[in-house]
Amino acid sequence: MTILGLDVSTSITGATLLAANGDTIICEAWDTRNKKKFPTIFHKAHFVRDRLVNLGWPVKKIFIEQSLQSFRSGFSSAQTLSTLSRFNGMISWVCYSEFNIIPEYVAAPSARKLCELKVPRGTKAKEVALQYFLDNGNEIEYTSHGNPKPGSYDRADSWVVAKAGYQIWKRNL
């Protein structure tokens, strides 16, 4: 039994594969920011598909972080939300067509709650998730300025989604 957790994004997609005991098998970030290499979301989806089918492990359950459903002042535009939602749907279809598994969706706050991860008021959830990821034995790389390298937050988010999916799977046994 393996569980795949995905943090789908048009820039960097995080992917985590967990074993039946909850141990991490794979935790990666797939960078699709290069506009020359990935000029459209179709090119990006093809790249993510290739990564998924070449994981090297049989996937049995798939959990995807649910895409944002509404605006918040100062955050993503309607066009960005629409593109992200389309891309999330494309990757969901890839998961179904390649693995014959209907993905389950987990909202980020629900995933954090299932992992008993508390985000104090005024704190950025991504920072808290990254720290939780690190506190649980995972490692990341840093820039020369001491900041997490691109993909670190995506890996952490996919790991939280996978761990939440693991909790859902265990609860439904």
Q: What is the pLDDT of residue 86?
A: 94
CB 6 within 8 A of CB 63: yes
Q: What is the pLDDT of residue 97?
A: 97
Q: Shortest CA distance to 114 belongs to which of 151, 69, 150, 164?
A: 164
Q: What is the pLDDT of residue 71?
A: 47
| Cβ atoms within 10 Å, residue 166 | 24
DSSP label of 71:
-
What does the pLDDT profile of the chain (173 residues) look like in tens digits?
899 999 999 999 999 999 999 999 999 999 999 999 999 999 999 999 999 999 999 999 999 999 765 445 455 677 888 889 999 999 999 999 999 999 999 999 999 999 999 999 999 999 999 999 999 999 999 999 999 999 999 999 999 999 999 999 999 87
Secondary structure class of 123 (helix, strand, coil):
coil
CB 16 within 8 A of CB 30: no
Superfamily the domain 3-171 falls into: Ribonuclease H-like superfamily/Ribonuclease H (3.30.420.10)
CB 64 within 8 A of CB 104: yes
Q: What is the pLDDT of residue 114?
A: 96
Secondary structure class of 11 (helix, strand, coil):
coil
Segments making up each domain of the chain, as ranges: 3-171
pTM for the model stands at: 0.92
